[in-house]
Amino acid sequence: MKKIMSVLLSLTMFFGLISFAVAEDSALDIQFNADGKFKIMHITDTHLNVDNVDASVFAIGRGCDLEQPDMVVITGDNVENHQDTSETKMLIDKLMTVFQSRNIPVAVTFGNHDSEGDCAMTREELMAYYNTYSCSVSVDDGPTLSGCGTYNVPILSSDGGKIAFNLWIFDSNDYDAVGNYSCVQADQVAWYKEASAQLRADNNGEIVYSLAFQHIIVPEIYDVLKKVDYKGAYIYEHHYNAGEYYTFDPAQENRGTLTESPCCGYENFGQFDAMVAQGDVLAVFSGHEHTNTFSVKNQGIDIVNSHSTRYNGDAYSTQYGYRTIELNEADTSKYTTDIVHWYDIFTIADSIELSQAGDSFGSQVARSIAFQGVFQKLWNQFTYIIVKMFTGRTVSYSY
Ligand SMILES: [Fe+2]
């Protein structure tokens, strides 16, 4: 058991000055375990609605029980209802109860859909509602920053004596003035630079290694994909530049799968350049594209995408799931990560076991994923092999 300790540290910018606000009443400790390990579960694009919520939260709970994460990070497009506030809250309740009941700290930020539409709860209202759960370590950054949900979560050393690692959580906003996907804005970039420098200064001038999380991917992903001038299987047109096509670059360090065009913001206020300059961010994790699971390195930073974390009851969504990220206090300049699909964690044996335990709903979800997942997995593998056979291109790397 980890010690109970308040560690939520919020950095706010006010008239150009940085101040640290410590939430003394947080009952959740965020620190490396006694064995020096720390495990994060990345959940994104749950897109919960009345049709998929029960199966999705069951699957997420099963993932939590298997992984035993020390913390969960949720990166937007969390619930789909934008008309009925009581239903939106019900969907959030079902999601947050998964973590509250297991005492897992959760950091939340938002995507392009969370506050979409005239009747939707605002990001500030949503954040306040998530924060009615004591497992939430999320922060409304207040009116001085664009969006809602740009903050950091320091991870203390196992002895609690210092900040050993850090998570940057960015609200990448929703849409720009002309309807393109948005991005982290200039004021948020300025906040990050100041806060990163402050963390380093407070660590005797040594970098506090960090991971960044946000909904919308940085546009620099296109710099490390291979640009080609033809269409083809698993070759995707640039989200904004017609006639430019991209695929994995065999000269790069590629991991995972590219199955959709990366939908970054059209504008770019220098977030990625700032992270390169600060030197603290090992990887930036996003969602938004529901089946992309790649990790591609750019200037020392891994640009990573995680797949959607929901189960819609069909074969296609058995390939969804979550990402795990593991840290080791002995060397915080590295991390390991893995993708877990729903079809990886549900078997017919699980279905039988759940049935015998009296959980008929869980048994039915497990059976459905196990059966449908076999076909989805085979189809995925078949298409990757066919592309490799006829084009020589690798379109899926290891996970
Ligand atoms: Fe999205």
Q: Is residue 203 part of a domain?
A: yes
Give the Å distance between the CA of 172 and the centre of ligand 1. Answer: 10
CA–centroid distance, 306 to ligand 1, in Å, is 12
Specify the pLDDT at position 118: 84
Q: Does 388 reside within a domain?
A: no
Does 287 fall in a domain? yes
- Give the pLDDT of residue 119: 87
Check residue 392 and give its pLDDT: 93
Rounded to the nearest angstrom, the distance between the alpha carbon of 320 and the centre of ligand 1 is 15
Ligand 1 center to residue 215 CA distance, Å? 7
What is the Å distance from ligand 1's center to 113 Cα? 6
Quote the mean pLDDT of the chain. Answer: 92
User: Which residues are bridge partners to 14 per DSSP?
Assistant: 17
For residue 352, is it within any domain?
A: no
The domain containing residue 316 runs over which residues? 2-343
pLDDT tens string 80-126: 988 899 999 999 999 999 999 999 999 999 999 999 988 899 999 99
Within-domain flag for 370: no
Asked whether residue 209 is assigned to any structural domain, the reply reads yes
Counting the structural domains of the chain, the total is 1
Cα(183) to ligand 1 centroid in Å equals 12
Does a structural domain hold residue 369?
Answer: no
Residue 107 within a domain: yes
Task: Tell me the CA–centroid distance for residue 292 and ligand 1, in Å.
Answer: 12
307 C-alpha to center of ligand 1: Å?
11
The rounded Å distance from CA 138 to ligand 1 centre is 19
Residue 132 sits in a domain whose CATH number is: 3.60.21.10
